[in-house]
Structure 1
Amino acid sequence: MMKRVHFPIRSDDSSGLIVYPDQIRFFANADLAAMPGHIIADYSGSLDLPLYGLAKPAVRPLLVITQVTSDQPIQTTVALDRHEVICPQGATLSFTAELRSEDGAVLPLSDSFRLPIRQQGGRDGLLLATMVDGIVKVSAPFTVPGDDGTWMVNEAAINAGLPEAANMRFAGITVSVFRT
């Protein structure tokens, strides 16, 4: 089975190939990862490698929401310091976040992942998060009848379907949707 993996680069000067420490070889034209000294490539070998081909970092990267906008800004309140947004039913929110390293630098990684969201009453939703060069964008429409109420995303939810090596820290966000 083929899977996308993230490997540290070690060049084999005699062959022009990129060599992983376990002698797994990739042609030098594999996709260069945004992190210097690493590549992302398809791998179909028999070794059980984690998705990113790297040991779990000591400190997981931090996902930080940096901006929230609404298509109904007059009725929307954003308080990122409290990890809270209040908006009317019918609004579509756009979230921007950064994936940061331990030193606060934006990690220049690109990927997409599912973002489970749960209503306080137990209803579940699913959003798509798209990350380009460490900047994550999510569009959250609260336009369906019954979308009013309190919706939450927390660290456990965003990491639920990810391999351990790709887990992130996240303070969470609460969106309160009121009826108009």
Structure 2
Amino acid sequence: MNKRVHFPIRSDDSSGLIVYPDQIRFFANADLAAMPGHIIADYSGSLDLPLYGLPRPTVRPLLVITQVTSDRPNQSTVALDRHEVICPQGATLSFTAELRDEAGAVLPLSDSFRLPIRQHGGRDGLLLATMAEGVVTVTAPFTVPGDDGAWQVDETAINAGLPEAAQMRFAGITVSVFRA
């Protein structure tokens, strides 16, 4: 059974192999970890390899949009699988999302954070995201003249300015606002 392992290494210069401390060998083309002197590699042996006290690399939580509603439902289109919403200028959208761990469970965190949004023409906006027990809500009014066009929120924008421990993964979403 293949498993991903993270462990300290030393190089065996004579054979071009990387040698695990217990003499288990891996080819030198395994992925180097960010921590010098360590490696992450696929291992298909039957031994249970110890991690030698190294913390398991953390996976950032995933922000998943679960629902989008509009105050103009007959004029708005939501396609969550493509991460796209189409609505008329003047509409107000409400987004609901969940912050999930790597197993898919909702993390019971409560906080609020800024949500930068950028129009493809270069305009920037800022929304407030409120999280209660891992469920995030955002209200986005597209009511100002000039709000028409494509607006986007992506992972880079969400994480900008957040400490590394608070950063999250996010597939992004585009809101296309048309003139009504």
Whether the TM-score (by the shorter chain) exceeds 0.5 is yes
1:104 is matched with 104
Q: Which runs of no fewer than 5 residues in structure 2 stay unpaired?
A: 1-54
1:40 is matched with none
- Structure 1 residue 101: Cα displacement: 0.2
Alpha-carbon separation, structure 2, partners of 1:56 and 1:117: 33
1:85 pairs with 2:64? no
- Contact residue 117 and residue 153 of structure 1 kept, 8 A: yes
- Structure 1 residue 82: Cα displacement: 0.2
2:171 is matched with 171
Alpha-carbon separation, structure 1, partners of 2:56 and 2:112: 20
Amino acid paired to 2:64: V
- Structure 1 residue 56: Cα displacement: 9.9
SS in 1 for 2:74: helix
Alpha-carbon separation, structure 1, partners of 2:124 and 2:81: 25
1:135 pairs with 2:135? yes
- Report runs of 4+ in structure 1 exceeding 6 Å deviation: none
- Write out per-residue CA displacement over residues 113-172 of structure 1, whole angstroms, 9 at most, x where no aligned residue: 000000000000000000000000000000000000000000000000210110000000
- Write out per-residue CA displacement over residues 27-82 of structure 1, whole angstroms, 9 at most, x where no aligned residue: xxxxxxxxxxxxxxxxxxxxxxxxxxxx9961000000000000000000000000
1:25-64 to 2 correspondences below 5 Å: 58-64=58-64
- Write out per-residue CA displacement over residues 57-114 of structure 1, whole angstroms, 9 at most, x where no aligned residue: 6100000000000000000000000000000000000000000000000000000000
Alpha-carbon separation, structure 2, partners of 1:123 and 1:135: 28
User: TM-score, normalised to structure 1's length?
Assistant: 0.69
Distance 1:128 1:56, change over 3 A: farther
Q: Which runs of no fewer than 5 residues in structure 1 stay unpaired?
A: 1-54
Alpha-carbon separation, structure 2, partners of 1:172 and 1:115: 12
Identity across the alignment (%):
84
2:95 is matched with 95
**Number of equivalent positions:** 126
